[in-house]
Amino acid sequence: MSGREIVLAGNRRHPNRLGRRAAVAAGILVCVGAGVAAGGIWRADAQARDDHRCAPGARPLHVAAAPEIAGVVADLAGAAGSDDSAGGCPRPVVTAVPAVEVADVIRNERGDRPDVWIPDSSVWVNRRAPAGRALPPNNPSVARSPIVVAVAERTAAGLGWPSRTPELGDLLVPDDGDAAGPVRFVLPDPGRSAATVGVLLGMQSDVAGDRDGRATLARVLRAATRGSERADQLLTSLRPRPRLAAPATEQQVWSHNAEHPQSRVVAAYQPGPGHAFDYPYVVLSNEESQRRQAERLRAVLTGEIGRWRLLAAGFRDPLGRAGADLATDPAVAPARPATGPAPDAERIDDATRALRSLTLGSRLLVVLDVSGSMATPVPGANGRTRLAVALEVLMNGLALYPDGARVGLWTFATNLDGKRDHREEVPTVALGRNDDGTVGRERLARAFGGVTAVRGGGTALYDTALAAVRAVRRDWDPTRANSVVLLSDGRNDDRHGIGLDRLVDSLRAEHDPARPVRLTTIAYGPDSDRAALSTMSRATGGEMYSAPTPLRVREVILDAIGRRACRPDC
């Protein structure tokens, strides 16, 4: 575990930002740490000191804290240790360590665990842990700071700031000039950044219920780029590229602006109570002496002086209440709530999978019904058929995917290709330029233009679905989300094919959690077999979408494409 030891007296990062009460408090703490005021502020807490005295020769408490709070913790640690004023306990050693590094030590059981861990968020505590490595529950918070999205002042001004506080939703609305929206997000790996997890969950909540919100979110996340997990580097990068947006906390925005007045950023807040860093105080040591020292330090951090000092550094208190110092910077909004609960393991996993499934790439097989009923004209569609409407919307939907996505196209009807019910129109190719010089989007567009409904053709639904899932699993790509999207307007009427029960049994028996292939089905039109399609999808962990009228197929297809990005709120 890497990191740096923090030994500070007072607030060297923001020497001019301490309020009068906090400055006095910090001065007292330095005196106590130096042994000058042996009976000073601790006299009223004599009983607590006696209860937590250290044995002679006790080793110092080792504290690993998130970098942005480590300096404050080190300042306050002077009052929790050093000679007789602290019950004979040595001064704690505070190390600034990113939370992910401590989490890796705990998960992999290598390296030295600290006695006390103060990560930025309970996200790290709530993540799924291997058996026997779970962390203590119910860890008290020592401070809070809302998770926000930081944008350059110029970008914020375009959103109405400073007259109004920017909202996360302002950044998720695509504009006419950029499919990614008014900004392009820089998102660190959610497996290594609790701020990214919080922003993803905020995005999901923001688009929940919006008609095209899921597709918008998919578009935004596909346009996102990876960034540093260090907040200082992320925020500094916004000045030369003002159309970028990065996850941060209110405190990090406030601190950045104090240190870099020439490259100020503005916080865009999540809806409602949002998500926040809650800085849990996690005691990891089982040694009685270390636990006594840990309790002393916790009492200092959560006591009145600790509260003053943390507020003066731009944090909020554990109840989400801000101090006067935050109000000095119009780039933050201390009146906004910061009371949202920390996400649980399931929501963390869902958010992580959502981003990775979109940014690591997709491998998609589109399977399109071309039975005779697909030639039915659509009322109100200028004479176009069900098939023509579906082809147009599918092509527009594929525009949401990046060039690196790999897409194939099958059509199906009974005995479409000799004795086979499906035909491969386009093999799985990259939507951009492939090794043979062809462009996948162009190949698909040409194939779509040549697809016609088969007069008198039946719907070989079950045989085709099983063949499609097997084909994708056979060439399964571990770097991508592997899936099948099947659209049908009818019911299975292949008298020589398998039945629904056999199909479902086969899908379940062949399902491999290590090589998942999800079947998404679209029940297209009033005659589709929604019950059967839903059963088929559920057998693979996929979903069925219903488009009762052909004119709604656009909404359904865009929803299906974007839905992976908005779990679990959609």
pLDDT tens digit sequence for 498-513 = 999 999 999 999 998 8
Per CATH, the number for 4-143+279-324 is 3.40.190
CA dihedral 155, 156, 162, 164 (to 10 degrees): 140
pLDDT of 553 > 90? The answer is no
Do the domains at 4-143+279-324 and 360-565 have one common CATH topology?
Answer: no
Q: Report, as an integer, the average pLDDT of 371-381.
A: 88
Name which CATH class applies to 360-565: alpha beta
pLDDT of 10 > 60? The answer is no
Task: Please tell me the least confidently modeled range out of 75-84, 176-185, 194-203.
Answer: 176-185
Instruction: Please state, in angstroms and rounded to a whole number, the distance separating the CA atoms of residues 121 and 104.
Output: 15
Q: Are 491 and 527 in contact (CB under 8 A)?
A: yes
Q: Report, as an integer, the average pLDDT of 274-299.
A: 93
Residue-wise DSSP of 34-81: HTS-TTTTTGGGHHHHHHTPPPTTPPPPEEEE-HHHHHHHHHHHTTTS
Q: Are 314 and 325 in contact (CB under 8 A)?
A: yes
Q: Are 335 and 41 in contact (CB under 8 A)?
A: no
Per CATH, the number for 145-276 is 3.40.190.10
Question: pLDDT at position 54, please?
Answer: 74
Indicate the domain borders of the chain. Answer: 4-143+279-324, 145-276, 360-565
Q: Report, as an integer, the average pLDDT of 77-92.
A: 68
Instruction: Please state, in angstroms and rounded to a whole number, the distance separating the CA atoms of residues 224 and 402.
Output: 11
Q: Are 331 and 265 in contact (CB under 8 A)?
A: yes
pTM of the model: 0.66
Please write the tens of the pLDDT for every residue from 38-71: 333 333 333 344 455 677 778 999 999 999 999 9
Please write the tens of the pLDDT for every residue from 218-275: 778 877 888 888 888 889 888 777 789 999 999 999 999 999 999 999 999 998 888 9
pLDDT of 30 > 80? The answer is no
Does 111 or 315 have the greater pLDDT score? Answer: 315
Instruction: Please state, in angstroms and rounded to a whole number, the distance separating the CA atoms of residues 373 and 457.
Output: 8
Please write the tens of the pLDDT for every residue from 292-302: 999 999 999 99
